[in-house]
Structures are given as structure tokens and as C-alpha cells.
Structure 1
Amino acid sequence: MTISSPSSPQEYIKHHLHSLQFGEGFWAFNLDSLFFSILLGVIFLSIFHRVAHKATTGVPGKLQCAVEMIIEFVDKTVKDMFSGQNKLIAPLALTIFVWVFLMNLMDLLPIDFLPYISQQLGLPYLRVVPTADVSITMSMAIGVFLLIIIYTFKYKGVKGFIKDYTLHPFNHWAFAPINLLLETVSLLSKPISLGLRLFGNMYAGELIFILIAALIPWWSQWVLSLPWAIFHILIITLQAFIFMVLTIVYLSMASETEDH
């Protein structure tokens, strides 16, 4: 079975949903997702470093204008949503937005383009959309979860951390066990919803492209794939924005003190 000549639509879909893995079971590494996520991160850093190094106060070029617009947009979003003062939040938000957007953008590549090239190089499988891999999205969400814990201890201390999870929403010591249960569920739901939301939307988008390619003759696929790709531009941008905004909101909640 080849990518260009699948034995059946079912085999075609199954082939495209299988990752290039190292290892087995829970500890298996999806090498394709790791490769593309790291590659896109390097591209992001390289572009922004180049623009920052060659920035001019005169008439800026198109790339500098685009980068400045993104930075101003993220900076305004952070100022509107983050109540505290922290030098890490804006760079973190910028990194999340651009990195997630670039990973989502891979979904607009022709579905067989890179997998076909990889097959000619001897690789049996290749998935090119890192955010359609739950291990990538949940890893990012766990990183945000750890920052929530760190910021809570940093701004509220051990005493404030305990009070947050034992005296809310019912401000009485007798309700401490109930409060602890409710707040623990609320805390754990943040990274789970953050990671699964991004994964679910990108996986669904990838699956629709695969279904179009598998079930419709190649000469007529553009009738559905082109409108979906145009609509998908909104989805990939919106999902990057939502991931960034929720990260800012969660960290803002973690850093809020009674003085605020």
C-alpha cells in the first residue's frame, strides 16, 4: 500500500493517523510530532531574532511590520488580562501564540505532500501537525499547570496556597474537605481542558482533510478542501489565541492576592 494508491479508504485513513514512533505503549515517542514542533520552534526563534537584530527606526520592511503587529497585539492582550506585574508573562504569551499558530498551520499543507516524500526516504509513517497529537498538547498544558502552581506559591506563599484550596468557595473551616475536593478538581481541569481543546479541534480538522482525500477523486478534491482550508485559517488562529488567553488568565488568577 502506498500513500498515492491506498488499497482502501480505511487503510488510507489509518495510515495517515499513525505516527512515526519510537518505543511502545505509554512511553512511546512520536518522533514526527517532536521533530516538527522543535523545527517550528527554531523557525519562530530564528525569524524573531533576525527581525530584532535588523530592526530599523525608519520605514520598516514587511516582515518587521508583521512581527511588530504580533508583538503589540500580544502585549495589549496581556495588559488587559494579567492583573499583576511580571516580566515573564508577555514573552510566554508571545511564544505560545506564535508557536501554536505555526504548529496549527502545518494542517494547511497538502495532506500527502510530506508523507509521500518521507515514504520515498524509507519512513513508513509521518504526521506533520504536532497539535493534532495529544501528547504534544498535553505536554504544553502540563507546563502551564506547573507554572500555575509555581505562581501560586510565589505570590501567595504556602499559607495563601492552603487558604485558596481549603477556604474557597465556602469560607469556613468545617467545609475544608469539600473546598479541597472542589478546588482540586477545578485545578486539574485547567490543564486537561487546555490540552484537549487544542488537540480535539486540530485532530478534527486534520481528519476532515484526510476524509476528503480518501473518499473523493483527486481531481475534484479542491471543491471541498479549498473552502475548508480557508475556514480552517480562522480555526488555527483562534485556537492559538485561546491557548494563549487561557494561559494568561490562569496565571493571573494564580498571582492574584487579597490586596488586589
Structure 2
Amino acid sequence: MAPEKVGELTPTEYIQHHLKNLTHSFGGGDFMTLHVDTFVTAVLTGLFMVFLFWLAVRKPTAGVPGKWQAFVEICLEFVHTQVKDTYHGKSKLVTPIAITIFFWILLMNLIKMIPADFIAKPLELLGIHYWKPVPTADVNATLGMSISVFFLMIFFALKAKGFGGMTKEFLFHPFGKWMVPFNLILNIVEWLSKPISLAMRLFGNMFGGEIVFLLIWVLGGASILGMFGGAAFGLGWMIFHLLVIPLQAFIFMMLSIVYLSLVEDDGH
């Protein structure tokens, strides 16, 4: 049975409607359920990011670059400078990783600037009644990215120290060989807390911002006074989020670089 039209929903139901993911189950419970909207939007934004970079490099000019090429070069130089100042290892993969993380998350976060109904209404005409547009407001997406960083941490640690060196560090650091159980517990907690904190920080900020946008949108539809109040609050919250959106992408990128640098450091 198709859900009610959004216009017929109460404010609470309206917010819940826009926070519900379009899912597809493969059987086996929640673990085998795909959030289709998160997956599709994340992939499309990733491809769009690649396309934007391709536009800048397809006909590069060494002398006086075009405006878009110059803008992209400034952005890439900014990220490269952050990597150079933060990461002290030898891997050449870190800058491409940082570029991917920052710009991909930035584009996904920017979808928040589009009012929810601007996406939901056209999709309803196609028979799609649920579509949560911001991938980073879905904990599955942020955990997916942070787990990827976690596996990169393991890869970088193994590459720098080898399996024996990494195992020795896990067992004997920081309290020495006589405190192996405590060392093991502390190191497991430390390693697991990094991807969890990465994911929850980004998810919390984006999900909370999404709820506030929806609350303001509901306020604006209550009355004429509410419409003006909603417009004022909405504009203020949008301006604030113009700072939050790149900041959250930057924090995720910087912490990822720091974690990769730390796992290569023999001093842990």
C-alpha cells in the first residue's frame, strides 16, 4: 500500500517520512538490507566528483590556466599542503586518499542545501515514496567510509612494520611484556574507537542538521507568520551549514591522515 501524500501528514510524520531510507532486502535481516538511496546518491556524487576533476585536466594549460582548472589546482594544492604538514611517512597514496575523502564527503554534504521536497516530490511522481537524499546523514555510509580508513590503517601499519612488528606493538605497548593482556585490550579499544568516532562525528552533525532543516520547513508551512519565521531561521541555518559542511569534510580528512601517520610511527 502506498504511503499517504506528504501534504496529508502531521509534522511528526512528515519528518519521519523524509528520514526514512529507500531499502532493498536481500534476506538475512538488517545486515543484508541495502539503503538504495544512500548507495545511489553516494555513487553518483563520486562520479560527479571524478567528472569535475576530468573537466579540469582534459585540456590543461601550463601558462595561463582556465578558471576551472585554476580553481581545481588551488583546491588540490590546499589538500596536498595539509597532507604534507600532517603525514610524515613515505607513501604517495595519502594525498590521493585525502583528496577523495575530502571532495567526496563535501559533495555529499552539499546535497543538504537542497530542500527535501525538491527531491522527494519529483520522485513521488515516479512512484518512489522514500528517498533520504544526504548519504552522510546515514550512519551506514559514514561507517562504510570510516571502516575503509580502518583497513587502510592496517595496510599502512603492516607495510611500515610488518606482521611481526605490528603484533609486537599490540602485545607489548605501552606497558611492556609483563602487561600483555592490558596492552592488548587498550590497543584494541584505541584502534576500534578511531573509525567509530570518525563515523559518528560526521553522521551526528549531518543527521542533526537534517532534522533542524525539516523542523524549519514544517514551521514555515504552519501559517503566514510561520512562513516568514521559517524563511529567516532557514536562511540563518543554511549560512551556518555553509561552514559546517566543508568543516566536517575537512575534519574527516585530517583525522584520517593523522591516523595513517600514527600507525606508521614506531613510537605509536
The TM-score, its normalising length taken from structure 2, stands at: 0.92
Cα displacement (A) at 1:163: 2.1
Matched, 1:203 2:207: yes
Distance 2:161 2:31 in 1: 36
Distance 1:20 1:217 in 2: 25
Q: 2:174 aligns with which of 139, 147, 169?
A: 169
Cα displacement (A) at 1:151: 1.0
Matched, 1:141 2:146: yes
Whether the 8 Å CA contact 2:220–2:231 is kept in 1: the answer is no
Q: 2:242 aligns with which of 194, 214, 233?
A: 233
Q: Which runs of 5+ in 2 are unaligned?
A: none
Cα displacement (A) at 1:205: 0.6
Cα displacement (A) at 1:6: 3.4
Q: 2:51 aligns with which of 41, 46, 50?
A: 46
Q: 1:256 aligns with which of 258, 265, 268?
A: 265
**AA partner of residue 265 (structure 2):** E
Q: Which runs of 4+ in 1 moved over 3 A?
A: none
Distance 2:102 2:76 in 1: 10
**AA partner of residue 70 (structure 1):** C
Cα displacement (A) at 1:52: 1.1
**Aligned-CA RMSD value:** 1.4
Cα displacement (A) at 1:217: 2.5
Q: Per-residue displacement from partner, 1:11-51 (whole Å, max 9, x unpaired)?
A: 10110110111015232111011111000000100110121
Distance 1:137 1:192 in 2: 9
Q: 1:115 aligns with which of 102, 114, 120?
A: 120
Cα displacement (A) at 1:7: 2.4
**AA partner of residue 232 (structure 2):** V
Matched, 1:56 2:51: no
Distance 2:71 2:45 in 1: 18
Q: Per-residue displacement from partner, 1:134-161 (whole Å, max 9, x unpaired)?
A: 0000001110001111111111012210
Higher relative contact order (CA 8 A, sep 6+): 1
Distance 1:158 1:81 in 2: 25
Distance 1:162 1:33 in 2: 37
Distance 2:252 2:8 in 1: 36
- Aligned-pair identity in percent equals 44
Alignment correspondent of 1:2: 5
**AA partner of residue 217 (structure 1):** G
Distance 1:243 1:60 in 2: 30
Cα displacement (A) at 1:254: 1.3
Q: Per-residue displacement from partner, 1:168-211 (whole Å, max 9, x unpaired)?
A: 221x2111110110011000001100111111100001110011
Distance 1:54 1:137 in 2: 34
Matched length: 257
**AA partner of residue 177 (structure 1):** P
**AA partner of residue 211 (structure 2):** L
The TM-score, its normalising length taken from structure 1, stands at: 0.95
Matched, 1:20 2:22: yes
Whether the 8 Å CA contact 2:173–2:183 is kept in 1: the answer is yes
239-248 or 153-162: bigger deviation: 153-162
Q: Which runs of 5+ in 1 are unaligned?
A: none
Distance 2:184 2:219 in 1: 51
